[in-house]
Amino acid sequence: MYDFQNKVALVTGGSRGIGRAISVELGRGGATVVVNYAGNEAAARETCALVEAAGGKAEARRFDVADAAACQAVIEETIQAHGGLHILVNNAGVAIDGLLLRLKDEDLDRQIDVNLKSAFYLCRAAARPMMKQRSGAIINLSSVVGEMGNGGQTAYAATKAGLAGFTKSLARELASRGVRANLVSPGFIDTDMTSGLPEDVKAKMLEEIPLGRLGGAEEVAHAVAFLASDRASYITGTTIQVNGGMNM
């Protein structure tokens, strides 16, 4: 368990899956977690209940991560309400699959907005207060698809690959003020998104994973919590892969 007492965290896409697991893991260390959600208030409140049961504090905040003004406002309101922001986890994402020749402009734009621009917006809003307090941990969630590519996911892969360059550059910009920025890159994780896949598709996925199984959301959360903690105080600009060996 990591010590997040008196630490405030914002986790985007925290109402389910990996985002929920991250929120709970931070709460287990005593953090106050602001759980962002897009539309499912009941799920977000359930995450908050789990965070509190684990030992932390939580509040649910509905806002569109693709809205720059909303991102700025939530960062400011979080700092005003809780006295600071120490951990930012950019987890929210959307995948709209389709071959490039059939990819609609609006689907491309939506993935860029949610997966990539949101990280710019939130990191930009969080950077100044984190630099002022001379501490902070930013963790962006990428994907093994951004490293390896995947047919039918050109737009999604591009946004996740973009996060890698963004995070490394951000780490260089903020390091002198004690703020760290890192990336966690999950592989195929057992979440709502994968549970509905046909069995033959799952079987093919497992063939590509040396460890021979899907990952758990909690396993991704462990990597995020480590990078958010003081135990990772000398780590910035790097990527932790949580993919069962898919990309070595």
- pLDDT computed for residue 199 by the predictor: 84
Domain architecture of the chain: domains with CATH: 8-242 (3.40.50.720)
Strand intervals (E) in the chain: 8-11, 32-37, 57-62, 87-90, 136-141, 179-186, 189-190, 215-216, 239-242
Provide the Cα torsion 216, 219, 220, 223; round to 10°: 180
Cβ(26)–Cβ(11) below 8 Å: yes
Which of 2, 37, 121, 156 is catalytic? The answer is 156
The per-residue pLDDT for 237 is 98
The model's confidence at residue 204, banded by pLDDT at 50, 70 and 90, is: confident
Confidence of residue 194 (pLDDT cuts 50, 70, 90): confident
End-to-end CA distance of the chain: 28
**139: which strand partners?**
89, 182
Please say if 156 is a catalytic residue. yes
Is the per-residue pLDDT at 83 higher than 80? Answer: yes
pLDDT tens-place string over residues 28-82: 999 999 999 999 999 999 999 999 999 999 999 999 999 999 999 999 999 999 9
Q: Is the pLDDT of residue 222 over 90?
A: yes
Q: 112 Cβ partners below 8 Å, 6+ apart?
A: 155, 158, 159
pLDDT in tens, 5-37: 999 999 999 999 999 999 999 999 999 999 999
